[in-house]
Amino acid sequence: MPPKRKQQYRHMPAFILLALAEGPIHGGAIHTVLTERMPLYKPDTAVIYRTLQQLEQDGEVVFTWDTSKSGPARKIYSLTELGWKKLDDWQEDIELRLANLQYFLDTYQAIRQAGRPPRS
């Protein structure tokens, strides 16, 4: 059974912070970055904006209003020092997850190559 869609967003804060690490951008641009660079991820814009709001409440991002273009003003988000620290934490978490997942893949491949044991 494939994982539920909600689990897809477990690392949304990490991906948003990573996008902002490249420079200040607005929420729509974050969606574009994630969609273009991770075509299998399929981020939902509502989830991006809710996550940005939570990151703002947590002090990991701040925003300024961009009123330089016609149309409604846009929030331009950027990382705070706490946001950079959180990116470090995400890196450590993801490295640990990758190590565990690699263990699974390596072990399963070895079992398959050896021939699956009969079920009892």
Q: Closest Cα to residue 90, out of 17, 5, 21, 25? A: 17
Over residues 40-57, the mean pLDDT reads 93
Classify domain 5-113 at the CATH class level: mainly alpha
Other C-beta atoms within 10 Å of 83: how many? 22
Return the residue matching tokens 């978490």. Answer: 93
Other C-beta atoms within 10 Å of 118: how many? 5
pLDDT in tens, 55-84: 999 999 999 999 998 889 999 999 999 999
Dihedral over alpha carbons 80, 49, 26, 61 (to 10 degrees): 0
pLDDT for 118: 66
Q: pTM score, two decimals?
A: 0.83
pLDDT score of 91 more than 50: yes
- Cβ atoms of 22 and 61 within 8 Å: the answer is no
The ranges assigned to domains in the chain are 5-113
